[in-house]
Structure 1
Amino acid sequence: MKKYLITGLLVWVPLAITVWVLQLLVNSLDRSMLLLPAHWRPQEWLGFEIWGLGALLTVLAVLLTGVIASNFFGQRLVKASESLLSRIPVVKSIYSSVKQVSDTLLGPGGQAFRHAVLVQYPRAGSWVIGFQTGIPAVEVAAHLPEECINVYVPTTPNPTSGFFLMLPKREVVELKMTVDEALKHIISMGVVPPGSSGH
């Protein structure tokens, strides 16, 4: 009895969590319809709300933006809008910071997470997996006693929050596992070993 219950849970729990996450994502994207004027919203002229329509239109809008921004005239338009935003005092600082982060994380040449590494944190003798994100800025490095690297240590099971550390390079062990393998290992709380497909 217990064996069958556990087997059933192993089938349903990942499926239920996947559906739950997808539902949260679609519901969040559906709220993008609220940005439209009331008389433009599909539910106003259809008479009922279509679940997922906002998510679909958001994806299509992003895709269309990508297509337009990839050609010559689209690139000129993007540069013109960025130039305009850079002249607005408060908007300039927010936009430039967000754009720099997004270019690093999402850009084709971005290397937000360069290597998976092993570091001692939060104390000596306690090891965690982190990711090298670069090297300290010149001004910061000038105050450090030795050569250091930037390391992001994610939390489990949510890797989008974590800690940013500057650690001596000699104390950081570079791992041979890929960034994807390391992320799976962290998210699974160590259950999914590196190289595993997750099945």
Structure 2
Amino acid sequence: MSSVRRWLLSGLLVLVPLAITLFVLDWIVGVLDQTLLILPVAWHPDRLLGLHIPGFGVLLTLVIVLLMGAIASNFLGKRLVLLGNALLSRIPIVRSIYSSVKQVSDTLFSENGHAFRKALLVQWPREGVWTIGFLTGMPGGDVANHLHGDYLSVYVPTTPNPTGGYFVMLKRSECIELKMSVDQALTYVISMGVVVPSRPAAPPLNPPL
């Protein structure tokens, strides 16, 4: 019975991650395939090829993103983007949602952004309890007027879903910068500490000259 139990656990360790990965990929492809609905019915791949092949929506989405990026990168496109932003900023309910989402997306996807660039070791939710957080910037606005000292803005994710979490402002002296990439730290959080990143190599005691 011990061998059967060991084989069962070994099989689950192989199949469960594979099944979850395939499920997530299938869901993503299914969602992106909905972009095909913007095409005329006569242009749908199912109609042209006579059979359904999943994934064409991914290609269409990629083309749309690249096309929008090319348009927004030239002078006329930038003017149109500014005009669209100004228009959306005048609509009461849409304004609050759009401005918040845009600020976050500009921070995350901007080439000179500083969001989630460093993994930190912080004490949360109380002193003596340590967890992983991500540096998102420095406190600003009126908040900075009420914080005396050197503070950092830190996002503390929940596990196993890192999209939910807490935004806190901590003293720089209470944050320890980790020698691991953001991807390694996210994997560590998502796996609930099961997937441990490798330790950085320790410097030699007597480095060669």
**TM beyond 0.5:** yes
* Counterpart position of 1:160: 163
TM-score norm. by structure 1 comes to 0.81
Give the Cα–Cα distance (whole angstroms) in 1 for the partners of residues 171 and 68 of structure 2: 42
* Counterpart position of 1:61: 64
Give 1:19 shift: 0.2
Question: Which letter does structure 2 place at the counterpart of 1:99?
Answer: K
Give the Cα–Cα distance (whole angstroms) in 2 for the partners of residues 130 and 15 of structure 1: 28
The partner residue of 2:121 within 118, 125, 140 is 118
* Counterpart position of 1:136: 139
* Counterpart position of 2:107: 104
Give the Cα–Cα distance (whole angstroms) in 1 for the partners of residues 87 and 54 of structure 2: 36
Give 1:154 shift: 0.5
Contact 1:150–1:167 (8 Å) recurs in 2 = yes
Give 1:133 shift: 0.9
The partner residue of 1:193 within 168, 193, 196 is 196
Contact 1:155–1:161 (8 Å) recurs in 2 = yes
CA shift in 2, pair 1:171/1:104, >3 Å: same
The partner residue of 1:174 within 172, 177, 200 is 177
* Counterpart position of 2:202: none
* Secondary structure in structure 1 of the residue aligned to 2:132: strand
TM-score norm. by structure 2 comes to 0.78
Contact 2:45–2:56 (8 Å) recurs in 1 = no
Give the Cα–Cα distance (whole angstroms) in 2 for the partners of residues 39 and 112 of structure 1: 42
Question: Which letter does structure 1 place at the counterpart of 2:188?
Answer: H
The partner residue of 1:21 within 20, 24, 29 is 24
Farther-moved stretch of structure 1 (72-81 vs 41-50): 41-50
CA shift in 2, pair 1:78/1:110, >3 Å: same
Give 1:104 shift: 0.7
Give the Cα–Cα distance (whole angstroms) in 1 for the partners of residues 190 and 45 of structure 2: 38
Contact 1:38–1:44 (8 Å) recurs in 2 = no
Question: Which letter does structure 1 place at the counterpart of 2:162?
Answer: P
Contact 1:149–1:169 (8 Å) recurs in 2 = yes
* Counterpart position of 2:44: 42
CA shift in 2, pair 1:175/1:68, >3 Å: same
Farther-moved stretch of structure 1 (163-172 vs 63-72): 63-72
CA shift in 2, pair 1:174/1:191, >3 Å: same
Give the Cα–Cα distance (whole angstroms) in 1 for the partners of residues 93 and 43 of structure 2: 31
Cα-Cα RMSD: 2.8
Give the Cα–Cα distance (whole angstroms) in 2 for the partners of residues 89 and 181 of structure 1: 41
Farther-moved stretch of structure 1 (40-49 vs 178-187): 40-49
Structure 1 gap ranges (5+): none
Give the Cα–Cα distance (whole angstroms) in 2 for the partners of residues 18 and 3 of structure 1: 23
Matched, 1:7 2:10: yes
Give 1:43 shift: 7.7
